[in-house]
């Protein structure tokens, strides 16, 4: 018994010493947390009235919804996108609503083109107060169908493009000691999703860039917000790309995008994003499923991986068109034209995802609409 007791003594002593030495660290961390919270509470709410807001990928979908709401908040809007026709339609809509707006065609994956676009905005309006990196691209399919080009395009759009715009605007924000940057990532930037590997990998990169920039730019008066949205009803599936069994992939993607209660409307997501930017939040997670998924992944990564592996077994295999990219609009079927996807179809018509000549009223009683093409 004496041997056992003498053996327990050093362990107990070591444990209590470790606990005592950890106390200052715990107190210090709590103190820093309290200071950060106090500063956040004291920070005046950001007023968008008269502010110049640059939105990439602003011609349709979430970008256009953000533009509408920011105009309503009194901001002046700069939209940039690659498609001139879509950009013209977005410009006409916002101008008709009385918005003070610039629309600049721009391929944000090119640093030179981004620099030229930012110079044009600065020459016209003098400064940029808020940058929202929203441009995105999606390729859906099994890992076997993904090529190096798929990864490269995803990285160019979700990592390099935000980096180009940030590098272009930060010197001007720093000179004024004021600015806001919002980087729209995805739940795929926190939890890698099956059949979206290039997308998820590039969104993870954006989260890392965004979080690091917040730490480094705060001393210059520039607040960076990382946005992690769940599935949003923007109407974007028809403009995504699908591989392998593309019609099945598109049907599953569109059905998932149309689920009520589980998905988030573009309007609600935009309100959350703008509110997060206004209060200078470090991170905005949009939608309760996203919050649940992030928490589950953080605390139980093995369980999350197991659940996602089970989901992957239910998804279609390679086959079909293989590595070829097929647009969503060319992957329609009777399912994707049915009442089951009406929420997504309605969002597509409302948010400039569909050309005007295709914006037909929904078929009565869930009847199948004839092909558009």
Q: In what order do the strands lie in the sheet with 130-133?
A: 101-105, 76-81, 52-56, 130-133, 179-184, 222-229, 283-286
- In the chain, where are the structural domains located? 52-288+299-359
Q: How many CB atoms lie within 10 A of CB 119?
A: 11
Distance CA 367, CA 219 (A): 58
Residues 225/181, Cβ–Cβ less than 8 Å: yes
Q: What would the pLDDT profile of 195-245 be if each residue is shown by its tens digit?
A: 999 999 999 999 999 999 999 999 999 999 999 999 999 999 999 999 999
Pairwise CA distance, residues 318 & 310, whole Å? 17
Q: In terms of Cα–Cα distance, which of 342, 346, 343 is closest to 366?
A: 342
What percent of the chain shows pLDDT beyond 90?
83
Is 245 in contact with 177 (CB distance < 8 Å)? no
d(CA 362, CA 348): 12
Q: Are 185 and 269 in contact (CB under 8 A)?
A: no
> Does the active-site annotation cover 250?
no
| pLDDT, tens digit (0-9, with 9 covering 90-100), for 324-367 | 999 999 999 999 999 999 999 999 999 999 988 776 544 333 33
222, β-bridge pairs: 179
Residue 22: per-residue pLDDT: 54
In which band, very low, low, confident or very high, does the pLDDT at 73 lie, cut at 50, 70 and 90?
very high
- Read off the pLDDT of each residue in 276-288 and give the average, rounded to a whole number: 97
Out of 46, 151, 199, 250, pick the active-site residue.
199
* Model pLDDT, residue 367: 33
Would you say 62 and 134 are in contact if contact means Cβ atoms under 8 Å apart? Answer: yes
Q: How far does CA 85 lie from the centroid of its chain?
A: 24
Instruction: Please give the CATH number for the structural domain made up of 52-288+299-359.
Output: 3.40.50.720
């Amino acid at each position: 018994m004496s041997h056992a007791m003498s053996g327990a003594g050093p362990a107990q002593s070591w444990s209590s010493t470790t606990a005592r030495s950890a106390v200052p660290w715990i107190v210090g961390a709590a103190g820093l947390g309290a200071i950060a919270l106090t500063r956040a509470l004291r920070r005046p709410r950001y007023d968008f009235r008269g502010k110049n807001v640059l939105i990439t990928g602003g011609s349709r979908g979430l970008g256009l919804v953000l533009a509408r709401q920011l105009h309503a908040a009194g901001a002046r809007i700069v939209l940039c996108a690659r498609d001139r026709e879509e950009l013209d339609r977005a410009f006409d809509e916002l101008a008709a609503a009385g918005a003070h707006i610039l629309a600049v065609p721009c391929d944000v994956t090119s640093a030179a083109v981004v620099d030229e676009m930012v110079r044009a905005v600065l020459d016209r309006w003098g400064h940029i107060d808020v940058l929202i990196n929203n441009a995105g691209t999606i390729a859906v399919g099994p890992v076997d169908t993904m090529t190096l080009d798929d990864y490269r395009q995803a990285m160019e759009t979700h990592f390099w493009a935000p980096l180009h715009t940030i590098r272009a605007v930060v010197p001007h924000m720093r000179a004024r000691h004021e600015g806001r940057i919002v980087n729209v990532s995805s739940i795929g930037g926190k939890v890698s999703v099956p059949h979206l590997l290039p997308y998820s990998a590039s969104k993870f990169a954006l989260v890392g860039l965004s979080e690091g920039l917040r730490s480094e730019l705060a001393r210059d008066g520039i607040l960076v917000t990382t946005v992690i949205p769940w599935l949003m009803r923007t109407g974007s599936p028809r403009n995504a790309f699908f591989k392998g069994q593309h019609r099945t992939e598109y049907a599953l993607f569109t059905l998932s995008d149309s689920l009520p209660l589980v998905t988030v409307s573009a309007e609600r997501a935009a309100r959350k994003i703008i509110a997060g930017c206004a209060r200078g939040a470090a991170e905005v997670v949009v939608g309760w499923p996203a919050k649940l998924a992030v928490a589950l992944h953080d605390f139980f990564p093995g369980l999350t991986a197991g659940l996602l592996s089970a989901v992957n077994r239910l998804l279609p295999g390679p086959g079909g068109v293989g590595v070829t990219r097929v647009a969503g609009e060319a992957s329609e079927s009777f399912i994707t034209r049915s009442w089951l996807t009406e929420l997504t179809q309605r969002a597509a018509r409302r948010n400039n995802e569909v050309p005007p000549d295709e914006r037909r009223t929904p078929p009565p009683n869930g009847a199948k609409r004839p092909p558009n093409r």
